Amino acid sequence: MIKYVMAMDQGTTSSRAIIFDHEGAIISTAQKEFTQLFPQPGWVEHDPVEIWSSQIGVATEAMAKVGLEGGNIAAIGITNQRETTIVWDRETGKPVYNAIVWQDRRTADYCDTLKASGMENSVREKTGLVIDAYFSGTKVKWILDHVPGARERANEGKLAFGTVDSWLVWNLTHGAVHATDITNASRTMLFNIHTQEWDAELLTLLDIPASLLPEVKQSSEVCGETAPGVFAVQIPIAGIAGDQHAALFGQMCTAPGMVKNTYGTGCFMLMNIGSTPIISKNNLLTTVAWKVNGQIQYALEGSIFIAGAIVQWLRDGLGIIRSSSEVEALAASVAQNDGVYLVPAFAGLGAPHWDQHARGTLVGLTRGSSAAHIARAALESIAYQTRDVLKAMEADANISIKELRVDGGATGNNLLMQFQADILQTKVVRPGITETTALGAAYLAGLATGYWKDLEEISRQWKQEKCFSPELPAAQREEWINGWNRAVNAAKSWAQQ
């Protein structure tokens, strides 16, 4: 029987399953969007039951499309939207509240209180993170504080907390396994990346009982098997990594100094920094890249909250395009932005600004400005935000980056990729398989089960599809960057006033 590896890729707006063969080629894929809930301005939620049902649904669909059965799947790898927080009842398996999504800002004021109390340095030293509503810790506290009876049940050991990976593992094993991997744990603001353990002081600070927490596993190890009845046979769950860590692995950025940027709902740039964590001096995050065969690698990360989501906003909010695929042609219909800049701070500004109160700002409009200029400004904003992060990364690591490996949906947009190379003055390299997030999860699972022998075998599979080289004159580039910086300052000052 021919064997394959399945990646479950549970994202912010959709659940996907992708089945890979031994050469790393995609055999089958299935995807399903699910409901985005916005109960109040700045709040973003998902229904955990819908997350699970959509994920198991696409897994079954991907297998059925090519006539595969459970016996054909050697291992399952899970990759997931990170920081999104679910608390559920250990006995019934039912969530006590909706999943609070990473984009949600409801705990921003509480984070300000923590900063004012002088906790910023302590949190950064332990976790590599800044204090921000983005991370899971304050979301867990909010659920315990606001859901009637939740804190009492948590104190009695009756509730479980997990990021989306933990929720999927719990459901795949019918509650037999409550686990996460070290990459997802490192995004909670509750995990000490030096000791590689949940941090008792941080749990006390946020008033979170340790009994809530999942067991922390390596990114590549068998943490359990699917329960009988989920598939026809029991399949090992053998790889788990947060989406950005999985993409770094899928891009084979396995040596220090290698960098990838994933263009999804948000944009996430990670640089492999090796086996010793560097605490950033430029507002980047230090995070666990992965742990494989007992060896841990760390990464610097810059998070951009709104990237591909800006194109969805052009479609759904403004109605200037009918589908996301139309944005490139509309933006290309004007030669340049004519002084129009869009700062998409819809959920605040991420790295390296970390201004959680900044708001989206459109500047430089004239009577001649059109939908095309706004579309172009929207695309360019993705590239400018990426440059802001890359420059911070170069400063922290003291490395001049020669190449940016890219993946994610927006990398199919050649206009954006060329502008990215121009504005960075660096080669931008698109791989043959841009589904590197799912591929990374598959690789981690396949390594743990012997489907792939070692890292060397996997590394040979990475292939370049297209390289974009910078073409823009230096004077023009500096002028445009200056315009972007002014626009960012406008977005920040608007919030202050």
Separation CA 280–CA 298 (nearest Å): 12
The residues, ordered by sequence, that sit 6+ positions from 24 with a Cβ below 8 Å of its Cβ are 433, 439, 442, 443, 458, 461
Structure tokens at 155: 């104190």
SS3 letters across 422-477 = HHHCCEEEEECCCCHHHHHHHHHHHHHCCCCCCHHHHHCCCCEEEEECCCCCHHHH
83 is in an annotated binding site: yes
For 102, list phi and psi in degrees, rounded to 5: -55, -30
Nearest CA to 410 among 276, 248, 268? 268
- The answer to whether 13 is a known ligand-binding residue is yes
266 is in an annotated binding site: no
Distance CA 139, CA 347 (A): 16
Q: Is 155 annotated as a binding residue?
A: no
The encoded tokens of residue 85 equal: 């927080």
Grouping H, G, I as helix, E, B as strand and the rest as coil, residue 98 is coil
Consult the annotation and say whether 79 binds a ligand: no
The answer on whether 42 is annotated among ligand-binding residues is no
Instruction: Give the list of residues 6+ apart from residue 340 with CB closer than 8 angstroms, or none.
Output: 362, 363, 364, 365, 369, 373, 374, 376, 377
End-to-end CA distance of the chain: 66
Are residues 345 and 491 in contact, defined by beta-carbon separation less than 8 angstroms?
A: yes
Nearest to 378 by CA among 346, 412, 405, 425: 346
Asked whether residue 413 is marked as a ligand-binding residue, the answer is yes
Q: Which amino acid, 314? A: L
Query: Is residue 53 within 8 Å of 110, Cβ to Cβ?
Result: no
* Residue 3 identity (one-letter amino acid): K
**Checking DSSP bridges between strand 236-242 and strand 220-225, what pairing results, if any?**
antiparallel
Measured distance CA(372)–CA(364) in Å, rounded: 14
CB 220 within 8 A of CB 448: yes
Q: Is 16 part of any known ligand binding site?
A: yes
Q: Helix, strand or coil for residue 383?
A: helix
Calpha distance 122→99 (Å, rounded): 28
> Taking the alpha carbons of 72, 77, 81, 85 in that order, is the dihedral positive or negative?
positive
Q: Which residues contact 50 (CB under 8 A, 6 or more apart)?
A: 34, 35
> What number of residues does the chain have?
497
Closest C-alpha among 187, 183, 246, 205 to residue 120: 205
Assess contact for 3 and 72: CB atoms under 8 A.
Answer: yes
Binding residues for ADP: 12, 16, 265, 308, 409, 413
Binding residues: 12-14, 16, 82-83, 134, 243-244, 265, 308, 312, 409, 413
Binding residues for sn-glycerol 3-phosphate: 12, 82-83, 134, 243
Binding residues for ATP: 12-14, 265, 308, 312, 409
Binding residues for glycerol: 82-83, 134, 243-244
